[in-house]
Structure 1
């Protein structure tokens, strides 16, 4: 008779703990259960603890770059794919909540949605939140994808999309993969061009946000809009 590996009983106890009181789970125990959906025949506790030791928090673990995750023993391509799925799930969860709000109270709400979506990206991406005349979200869309330190955006094309969606205003967002929040000269220049293009069409640029993994920079708050 084959003896069951010790981790089978451990996982059963963790699942019982989850079902009885999910908040009682330690961070590493949550990771154990997540890892166990992919790693079926090994003890996941050592890898769970190593992830937290290396990246500090659950947020750090989920935000970690793929190449850094792959450096850990036992973290293979299947887990990288699973991590991508988790990130996409969380991004869509946050994004799906915003349209239910009667009114967007602050660009900070867009910033948080964008941080989850863009904060860990290795290349710059440019997104736009198109809003109606009551600041309700009509659409949240990627406009362009660039390189590690630049992405192109054309004011005319952006305004065409705003008109197609019958938007009255918009918040534009892009990420800085290097973590530096300071806007570049092109960032400031393109913001001014978009403001000018929108003024002609009656479409207000409410803000231009620069996103990193931890925080954001508002060009409006800093006087560039």
Structure 2
């Protein structure tokens, strides 16, 4: 005859296993961002105009980062560079200084920037510059307002004042880009361009023309006059706006 066991003797039942077999394992709490992507997509489908910049950036980040919460990254990018436009204008190396930005994200953001530039250039190129002046100002601001170094660009126009080419003539330092007036005129003759618009940026953000800017512009005007290459304007681009030499009465 087998004697009954006292409590505590021999193997004991696995109470936890028994409980989980009855009730199932405890469920992990849902992440706070659960369903956020679907909600944001629904709002975007209703109206993109109402979305703040960081949410537009989130929607684009979904492409390169297919899972997880990208809202903190979108906000970090805008905080680091100051605006959505500045995020898109940043170089891949600069973008990668933000935690969470890898090769795929940097490439996607630069793709968006380049697409925006081409759309802006196309809008300017389809009509005469005079009748698309607001598009021209928007284009040069998008292209140069957030560049960290000075760039000197020239817009070459035909006899109808339509855009033939937008070319980078020189890239300089944070406060200077060398300009060679004869090179500007030589390139205009190569392209059969009868007029040019000079464009450069001030990385400081203030588009006010400097004394050096005014002197350089006069030299280009003088170099082009004998060869019938006119200078229609000189635009100085900064984060605070675009200054027009012609509007300021500087030549």
Q: TM-score, normalised by structure 1?
A: 0.83
Structure 1 residue matching 2:115: 3-state secondary structure: helix
Partner of 1:94: 120
Match of 2:42 among 1, 13, 16: 16
Q: Distance in 2 between matches of 1:190 and 1:57?
A: 32
Q: Deviations over 1:178-199 (max 9, x none)?
A: 2232333332222111111111
Q: Distance in 2 between matches of 1:178 and 1:66?
A: 21
Q: Distance in 1 between matches of 2:134 and 2:52?
A: 30
Runs (5+) with no aligned partner, structure 1: none
Q: Which moved more, 1:173-182 or 1:5-14?
A: 5-14
Match of 2:162 among 104, 123, 136: 136
The size of the alignment, in residue pairs, is 224
Cα offset for 1:217? 1.7
Q: Alpha carbons of 1:167 and 1:62: their partners in 2 closer, same or farther (altered >3 Å)? A: same
Q: Distance in 2 between matches of 1:3 and 1:12?
A: 19
Match of 2:248 among 207, 222, 225: 222
Partner of 1:32: 58
Match of 1:202 among 218, 222, 228: 228
Contact 2:117 2:139 in 1 (8 A): yes
Give the alignment's Cα RMSD to 1 decimal.
3.0
Runs (5+) with no aligned partner, structure 2: 1-27
Q: Per chain length, whose mean CA-contact separation is higher, i.e. which structure has more relative contact order (CA < 8 Å, sep 6+)?
A: 1
Alignment of 1:48-197 (within 5 A): 48-52=74-78, 57-59=83-85, 61-63=87-89, 70=96, 72-105=98-131, 109-197=135-223
Contact 2:85 2:142 in 1 (8 A): no
Contact 1:131 1:139 in 2 (8 A): yes
Q: Which moved more, 1:4-13 or 1:213-222?
A: 4-13
Q: Alpha carbons of 1:187 and 1:106: their partners in 2 closer, same or farther (altered >3 Å)? A: farther
Cα offset for 1:121? 0.8
Q: Alpha carbons of 1:140 and 1:152: their partners in 2 closer, same or farther (altered >3 Å)? A: same
Q: Distance in 1 between matches of 2:46 and 2:219?
A: 56
Q: Alpha carbons of 1:102 and 1:196: their partners in 2 closer, same or farther (altered >3 Å)? A: closer
